[in-house]
């Protein structure tokens, strides 16, 4: 683990410990993506970057995808695995404790990459590279649009600029959140 992330891991472990296991009703896409749920495939494989308690990972697995979820918190990863077992999709879900400050771990190409409310520009190219041609990237980040600037907030237009080489399916910025759905083209 990168030395920088030791305090991050402890912070997130404490937070997920306080939250407790994810409620079954919270499984699904983040609200920002629900109007575009039909853009997500029902077969193939997916990578959920900074998956937390596995809410999106489990939703994708219930749709028929094989999913690998990555998070720095061992507590969140344990909770995600337990919820996947409870929902009957543990055979389609693999959750790993990963320090994303060290980069995206190697793995095979996937049909979907989801990264919700975690932003590290150093991962942008790796997430796009992990997609199969035609694969879907779903990314959301805290934004300065509709909110005060802050350390973890992206500037207006940052996501569309960062992922300009993708075919944009939908994107938006409002109420302190920026989001983007994009498909990898053959030229990426």
Reported as a single tens digit per residue, the pLDDT across 109-161 is: 999 999 999 999 999 999 999 999 999 999 999 999 988 888 889 999 999 99
120 contacts: CB under 8 Å, gap ≥ 6? 100, 101
Q: What is the CA radius of gyration of the chain?
A: 16
Q: Cα(107)–Cα(103) distance, rounded to whole angstroms?
A: 12
Per-residue confidence band for 5, with pLDDT thresholds at 50, 70 and 90? low
C-beta neighbour count of 14 within 10 angstroms = 12
- In this predicted model, what pLDDT tens digit does every residue of 59-96 receive, in sequence order? 999 999 999 999 999 999 999 999 999 999 999 999 99
Q: How far is CA 38 from CA 35, 79, 108, 117, 170, in A?
A: 8, 27, 24, 21, 12
Domain positions in the chain are 3-184
H-state helical runs in 2-116: 5-19, 31-34, 55-63, 74-86
Say what the pLDDT of residue 24 is.
Answer: 55
Average pLDDT for the chain: 93
Say what the pLDDT of residue 152 is.
Answer: 82
Task: From the options 3.20.20.210, 3.40.50.2000, 3.40.50.150, 3.20.20.70, give the CATH code of 3-184.
Answer: 3.40.50.150
Enter the pTM of the model. 0.93
Per-residue confidence band for 20, with pLDDT thresholds at 50, 70 and 90? confident
- In this predicted model, what pLDDT tens digit does every residue of 35-45 receive, in sequence order? 999 999 999 99
Place of tokens 């077992």: 85
C-beta neighbour count of 1 within 10 angstroms = 13
Say what the pLDDT of residue 23 is.
Answer: 61
């Amino acid at each position: 683990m990168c030395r920088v992330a030791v305090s991050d891991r402890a912070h997130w472990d404490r937070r997920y410990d306080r939250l407790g296991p994810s409620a079954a009703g919270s499984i699904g896409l983040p609200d920002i993506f629900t109007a575009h749920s039909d853009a997500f495939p029902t077969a193939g494989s997916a990578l959920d970057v900074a998956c937390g308690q596995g809410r999106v990972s489990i939703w994708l697995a219930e749709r028929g995808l094989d999913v690998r979820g990555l998070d720095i918190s061992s507590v969140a990863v344990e909770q995600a695995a337990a919820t996947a077992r409870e929902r009957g999709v543990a055979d389609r879900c693999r959750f790993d404790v990963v320090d994303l400050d060290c980069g995206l771990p190697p793995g095979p190409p996937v049909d979907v990459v989801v990264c919700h409310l975690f932003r590290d520009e150093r991962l942008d190219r790796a997430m796009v590279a992990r997609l199969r041609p035609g694969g879907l990237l779903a990314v959301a980040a805290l934004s300065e649009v509709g909110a005060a600037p802050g350390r973890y907030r992206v500037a207006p237009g940052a996501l569309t600029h960062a992922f300009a080489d993708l075919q944009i399916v939908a994107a938006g910025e409002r109420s302190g959140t920026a989001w983007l759905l994009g498909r990898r083209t053959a030229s990426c």
